[in-house]
Chain A
């Protein structure tokens, strides 16, 4: 158990809908990262937050957004969902040190029908 929690574990929804994925980092970790794992794109970095502020952006679609709250949990919002958004979404967290390792949560499997 990495100490990173993600809810829900599974999510099934329809095209055009909006969903919210939630992540709680390990105790004491200030950085949260979101990654998407799909069959065609592999594991790709989406976005990073550090202590409530956006730190870095990767290949995140405009239909996707994220935020990190004062209690350090993070939410990834996916809207106008398309079939191609079906994937495993991971959250990871790391400590305050720049070289800290990222520890991953169990993931949320999103299926868009």
Chain B
């Protein structure tokens, strides 16, 4: 079975601090996809990034960066110079490479950025 663990329930930082959100996943499949979604206070789920299991290259997009390490089954998300608008719940999700395309979500990490 697949499982995603986000051990950090809530993180509070002050604006301009860097923050890393942890994600650990479990799957026996060799081909899978990892995702991060953001859920701001308004409630919608916003797609941030997708990674496949064969691509361990780290990615940077503006203030966001992602570190994928298959050796530790982790897909961590770092926000550099956090801003108040980054306050949200962030979900890590896993999808395996079969006809069953459901996403398995972690429990989410609530990030609170104060001014």
Q: Do A and B share a complex? A: yes
| Chain A residues near B (Cβ < 8 Å) | 2, 31, 33, 35, 42-45, 48, 55-56, 58, 88, 90, 92, 94, 98-99, 101-107, 109
B102 and A103 contact, CB distance less than 8 A: no
How many Å lie between the Cα of A105 and that of B104 in the bound state? 17
Distance in angstroms from A92 CB to nearest chain B CB is 8
Contact B101 A31 (CB under 8 A): yes
Nearest chain A CB to B16's CB is how many angstroms away?
A: 29
Asked if A102 and B103 make an inter-chain contact with CB atoms under 8 angstroms apart, the answer reads: yes
With contacts defined as CB atoms under 8 Å apart, how many contacts are there between chain A and chain B in the complex?
Answer: 57
Q: Which of A42, A44, A45, A106 contacts B43 (CB 8 A)?
A: A106
Q: Are B44 and A105 neighbours in the complex by a CB distance under 8 Å?
A: yes
Known: A42-B107, A43-B108. 20 other contacts (CB 8 A): A2-B44, A31-B101, A33-B103, A43-B103, A43-B105, A45-B103, A45-B104, A56-B101, A58-B102, A88-B43, A92-B45, A94-B101, A98-B97, A98-B101, A101-B50, A102-B103, A103-B47, A104-B37, A106-B44, A109-B43
Say how far A32's CB is from chain B's closest CB, in angstroms: 11
Q: How many angstroms between the C-alpha atoms of A56 and B100 in the bound complex?
A: 6
The A-contacting residues of B in range 61-113, CB under 8 angstroms, are: 91, 97, 99-105, 107-108
B94 CB to closest chain A CB (Å) equals 12
B52 within 8 A of A: yes
Question: Which residues on the B side are within 8 Å of A105 (C-beta)?
Answer: 44
A residues near B103, Cβ cutoff 8 Å: 33, 35, 43, 45, 102
| CB-defined A-B contacts under 8 Å, sample of 23 | A2-B44, A2-B47, A33-B102, A33-B103, A35-B103, A42-B105, A42-B107, A45-B102, A45-B104, A48-B101, A48-B102, A56-B100, A56-B101, A56-B102, A90-B45, A99-B33, A99-B97, A101-B47, A102-B101, A103-B47, A104-B44, A104-B45, A104-B47
**Which of B45, B97, B107, B108 is the most central at the interface, judged by chain A CB atoms within 10 Å of its CB?**
B45
